[in-house]
Structure 1
Amino acid sequence: MAEPRPGLVLLFQRRFLAARPLSSLPWPELEQSLRTAPGSALLADILHEHESTAAEPLDELYEALADVLKEEEGSTHCYKSYLLPSGDSVSLCESTALVCGGTTGLLTWEAALLLAQWALQHPGLFRGRTVLELGSGIGFTGIAICKTCQPRTFIFSDCHPRVLRQLGENIQLNGFTPEPDVAWSTQTEPQGQEVPGQNCQTPKVIVAELDWGSVTEKQLLALRADVVIAADVVYDPEIILALVGMLQKLSTSRAGRKAPEVFIASTIRNPDTHQLFQAELGKAGIRWQVIPAHSSCNFLYDVQPDVTILQLFI
C-alpha cells in the first residue's frame, strides 16, 4: 500500500509535535490521499463502512489518539516541539491554561511564532550581534533565533519570577546554558566589543529580570543591544506607557553608539489598544513603520491571526 505523500506526513508531524488540537490535523486531506493512492482500496472500504453507519470518518481514530495524548488529570503543563526549517526543533514546557500563576507568559502566543518565522527569514539582522528580547515569556522566539540566526549574544528578559524560572528551564532544554544573572543590573561599564557579522555558532545566552518601569538608562547601556525585539507585549493599555518609557530610555542610553534596531510584533485583538500604542509612540517622538510579513506561518496551524510587525526608530 502506498504511503501518504511526504508533504501531508510533514503536516501531521508538525501539528502533532506542537500539541495542536486533534481537530486541526488535516484528516480530510489524509482521507482523500488514501482514497486515491494506489493500493488503498482496503482503507477506502473501511472508510466506506464508517460512512455507512452515519459516523464521521475516522471518529474512532480521533478517540484513540485522544486517549493516548491526553494529559494526566490535574496536569497544568505539557511539552511541545516546533520544527524549524533547518530540521532542528524548539522544545518547550508550556502551560495548558491561558492564565497560570497570575500571568499569561507561560505559553507561546501567535505573535511570537510569526516574529520567529520573520526572523528566520532575515538571519543577517541577528548574525554576530547582541539581541535583547523584551517580554520573552517561555522563550520560543529567542530560542529559534539562537538556533538558526547565530547571534553573538541573546538576552532574554521578563519580570515575572515564574516566567523567568520556566524560561531558564526551556533554554536549557534546548541545549543552551544561560549565564548567571549576575551584575548586569549593577554594571557601570559595558562589557565586550561586538563584532558585526561575526559568525557565532553558539551564542552567549543571558536571562535578565527587567522591569520596564524601574530599569535605568545605565542598566540598558550595559546590555549594549544592537537589536531589540518583542512579541505580544502590546495587549494592555496599562503597560503601554511603561513600554514606551523604556524605549525612550533605550534611545538616550547609547553613549555614542548607534541606536538599536527595534522590532515589535503584535496580534491586533483590540484595534483601540494598538492605536493607543502608536499614539504614545508619536508623543514620545518615536517613528515607526509596518514591516511586511508573510500572511501564513509554518508554526501556526489554525486560523491565522491579525499580526503586525512594527519597526521603531528610537
Structure 2
Amino acid sequence: MALSEQKEEKPEDILRDFRASFFSMNRLASFPWTFLDSELQSNKSSEFISELLKQTCLHPLCGKFPPSVRFRRIFLSELIKREAAGCDPLDELYDALAEVLGVEETLHCHKSYFLPTGDAISLLENVAVISEGTTGLVTWEAALYLAEWVLENPQVFTGRSVLELGSGVGLTGITVCRSCSPVRFVFSDCHAVVLEKLRENVRLNGLGGGKSPSVTVDQLDWTTAPEEQIRQIRPDTVIAADVVYDPEVAGSLADLLLKILKCSAAAEILICSTVRNPETYGGFKLRLEAAGLGHQVLTGPVGAVFPYNRLAPIELIKVFRVQEG
C-alpha cells in the first residue's frame, strides 16, 4: 500500500512516496503508479518524471547508498514504459538507464528508510532473503513495525539502557538510537556474518566511536549466554523483532528472557513477530508459560512511517515474569 493512500494525493506527497518506496526497495506494484499515469495523461509533460528522477535515481543518497542494480533497472524500465505512453522522451531518463546498465550486479545493496525528521537510516543488506545460512541480513516487516512503534513511544527508551536481541541488520535499534536518546544501546546477534554487517551499519549511521548514546555490538548466544554477561548489560528495556520463526529457538529465547528478568527484574521486554506460522508462534507462547513468563498483547495501530506490506499479520507483546503464589 502506498503511504499516500490515506491522504489527499498531492504531487509533493507522491514524490515522497516514490522516494521512500524506491530507497527501501519496496515492491514495485505498491508504488503510486496511478497518480503518475494520470499526471502524464493530463499534462502530456515529462516534468513530473524529471522531478521523480531527482527524488530517486538522481538523488544524492542514491549515489552514496544505492539500491540494488537489478531494482534500479526494473524501476527505470517501468518509468520509460509509462513515459513513452504519455509524453515526449526525457533524455535524463534514458541516461540514467544507460548508466545503471553498465553496472555489475553484486550480492549486496543498500536500503534506506526515512525518519519523520527527513533523515535517512541507510543499511547494507544482502540481495537474497536467505544468505550464508541466515535470514539476518535483510530487514523484515516486524522490524519496521517495531521501529514505527518506537517512534510513537520514545519514553520506553529515553534515558534507558536498551538491549536488542537478534538485531539483524540494525533497523529497529538504529531508529531507537537516532530518535529516542537512550543512554546505552547494545545490539546483539549470534551469527558472525550478521555481526559483521551489523557493525558496518552502525558505523554507516554515525553511531558508536564515543558518541552519545554509548553503543556496542555484542555476540549473544541465547543457549549459552552467562548471567554475568546479562548483569553487565543490565538492560532497562529489551526489544526483539522477527526472532520466533524457528520452533527450535523458542525455548532458548524463553529461557534467556527469564534469565534477563532474574538479573534485571524491572526490565521492560517487547517482542514483535510476523505470525507466518500460527503453530510455531503459539508454541513460543507455550514456552514462555513453561518458563514462568506471561505476556500482554499491545494492540492499536501505529503511524505509517515506512513502506512495507501492512497486510502481514504482526503482533507485539510485552513479556513479564509471573508472580508465584
Task: Bin the TM-score by the shorter chain.
Answer: 0.7 to 0.9
Alignment of 1:68-79 (within 5 A): 72-79=103-110
User: How well do the aligned residues superpose, as a CA RMSD in angstroms?
Assistant: 2.5
- Equivalent residue for 2:133? 102
Relative to the length of structure 1, the TM-score reads 0.80
1:141–1:71 Cα change, 3 Å: farther
1:12 equivalent to 2:18? Answer yes
1:214 equivalent to 2:224? Answer yes
Task: Return the letter of the residue paired with 1:284.
Answer: A
Q: Residue 134 of structure 1 contacts residue 228 of structure 1 at CA under 8 Å; is this kept in 2?
A: yes
Per the TM alignment, residue 42 of structure 1 is displaced from its structure 2 partner at its CA by 4.8
Q: In 1, Cα distance between the equivalents of 2:145 and 2:224?
A: 29
- Equivalent residue for 1:227? 237
Per the TM alignment, residue 74 of structure 1 is displaced from its structure 2 partner at its CA by 4.9
Relative to the length of structure 2, the TM-score reads 0.77
1:128 equivalent to 2:159? Answer yes
1:59 equivalent to 2:52? Answer no
1:202 equivalent to 2:212? Answer yes
1:42–1:95 Cα change, 3 Å: closer
Q: Residue 20 of structure 2 contacts residue 307 of structure 2 at CA under 8 Å; is this kept in 1?
A: no
- Equivalent residue for 1:24? 30
- Equivalent residue for 2:115? 84
Task: Return the letter of the residue paired with 1:115.
Answer: L
- Equivalent residue for 2:190? 159
Q: In 1, Cα distance between the equivalents of 2:219 and 2:79?
A: 50
Q: Residue 296 of structure 1 contacts residue 304 of structure 1 at CA under 8 Å; is this kept in 2?
A: no
- Percent identity between matched residues is 41
Task: Return the letter of the residue paired with 2:311.
Answer: Q
Alignment of 1:143-292 (within 5 A): 143-177=174-208, 202-254=212-264, 258-292=265-299
Task: Return the letter of the residue paired with 1:248.
Answer: L
1:310 equivalent to 2:317? Answer yes
Which one of 104, 108, 115 corresponds to residue 146 of structure 2? 115
Deviations 1:286-308 (A, max 9, x none): 11011124267322244531110
Per the TM alignment, residue 29 of structure 1 is displaced from its structure 2 partner at its CA by 1.9
**DSSP 3-state at the match of 1:278:** helix
1:104–1:69 Cα change, 3 Å: farther
1:66–1:133 Cα change, 3 Å: farther
Per the TM alignment, residue 34 of structure 1 is displaced from its structure 2 partner at its CA by 4.4
Q: In 2, Cα distance between the equivalents of 1:229 and 1:124?
A: 14
Q: In 2, Cα distance between the equivalents of 1:124 and 1:240?
A: 29
Q: In 2, Cα distance between the equivalents of 1:301 and 1:115?
A: 12
1:210–1:301 Cα change, 3 Å: closer
Q: Residue 118 of structure 1 contacts residue 293 of structure 1 at CA under 8 Å; is this kept in 2?
A: no
Higher helix share: 2
Task: Return the letter of the residue paired with 1:228.
Answer: V
Per the TM alignment, residue 8 of structure 1 is displaced from its structure 2 partner at its CA by 0.7
Structure 1 regions of 5+ residues with no counterpart? Answer: 44-55, 180-200
1:70–1:24 Cα change, 3 Å: farther
Deviations 1:193-241 (A, max 9, x none): xxxxxxxx93110111000000112211110100000000010000001
1:297–1:25 Cα change, 3 Å: same
Q: In 2, Cα distance between the equivalents of 1:142 and 1:175?
A: 13
1:236–1:177 Cα change, 3 Å: same
